[in-house]
Amino acid sequence: MKVLYNGSDTCLTGVTDFNLRETLECGQCFNFVRTDDGTDSSFCAYRIIAGGRVLFISEKRCDENKRNEIKTETCDLTLYDTDIDEYESFWKHYFDLDTDYLLIKKKIVEECPELESIIRENPGIRLLNQQFFETLISFIISQNKQIPQIKAVVRNLSELAGKRIDCKKTAEKSIDEIINDDYHVYLFPTVDEMRRLTEDDIRSCKAGFRAPYIMDAVNRVASGEISASCFDTLTTDEARVKLMTIKGVGEKVANCVLLFSLGRREAFPVDVWMKRIMEELYFHKDTDKKLIERFACEKFGKYAGYAQQYLFIYGRNALK
């Protein structure tokens, strides 16, 4: 992979084991919009809001080739209005580009051959490294909601309390809102911005019964009792227990926060889909979620979180 800066954009060429659409659209993040018109199957562009920044990014697929049996392909990425320093210090880690996914995929297929075809079809999924607070709030929102609705609540909260950012340049001017000259977006609110909201404010963002849960999470983070760094010295099991002291955070939400924002790749969130697919593959009967989690963690070890992502896609394709 080569990294080049052309004076305004950072261009990554020959990126392996990466697919922007697969990575963003697999349910691990909710603050993005596709900005191209979808007419070119080898091209896509997105606007992503994360970590107090806005990124316009596009991807061009390159020719397929084969590396060590598992089919892979390369792509070129353009991070618009982004210099090398911002790429190196933030987006590189955000997209998990310093991790060897070829090795990870091999290990998972060794443990679970059933996943080989799904990995072949989705070879570019990466686990993002997202910011703690916005991941915590987003996954509290996610309970009992579908992805488009989760995205809507995240956007409503951002518009209500987040900082406005004016976007002077855009990657692709194809969606309606981007056509406006005064195009702007709102960042996900900071803890301080959220603290100014009342429970009714949060309800007005269509958060429903999750509003008091969000209030509790905000208060606990604002007080300093909970922070990304407070988990540094804890084991994953201890960190999960601590996260679950927040109202509205159960096993599943806690595991998502561990996996997607605290670098605990051994975490294995079990939702309705994961329960169904694991029962189909291994248990062949109704099985407790906690048991499924323990089984997967023993089976996949430090790769459990990655395996979970492929299993999720497998489940959504195979079942339903």
Partner DNA sequence: TCCCAGGTAGATC
Partner DNA sequence: GATCTACATGGG
User: Rule CB under 7 A: which residues touch DNA?
Assistant: 26-28, 142-149, 203, 206, 208-209, 213, 244, 246-254, 256, 269, 271-274, 288, 308-309, 312
Closest to DNA by CB, 87 vs 133, is 133
Residue number with CB closer to DNA (97 or 141): 141
DSSP assignment of 238-254, as one string? HHHHHHTTSTT--HHHH
Q: Residue 22 or residue 116: which is nearer to DNA going by CB?
A: 22
Instruction: Give CA–CA dist 201/150, Å, rounded.
Output: 17
Cβ atoms within 10 Å, residue 67: 12
- Shortest gap between Cβ of 91 and DNA (angstroms)? 21
Distance of closest approach, residue 119 Cβ to DNA, in angstroms: 15
- The nearest distance, CB 311 to DNA, in angstroms, is 8
Alpha-carbon span 29 to 169, nearest angstrom: 24
Contact (Cβ atoms closer than 8 angstroms) between residue 275 and residue 283: no
CB of 305 to DNA, least distance (A): 9
Q: Using alpha carbons only, give the angle 193, 211, 194 rounded to the nearest 5 degrees.
A: 5
**Rounded Cα gap, residues 149 and 121, in angstroms:** 27
Task: Write down the least CB distance from residue 201 to DNA, Å.
Answer: 12
Shortest Å, Cβ 193 to DNA: 21
Contact criterion met (CB below 8 Å) for 5 and 83 = yes
Rounded distance, CA 235 to CA 153, Å? 32
- Torsions phi, psi of 108, nearest 5? -70, -40
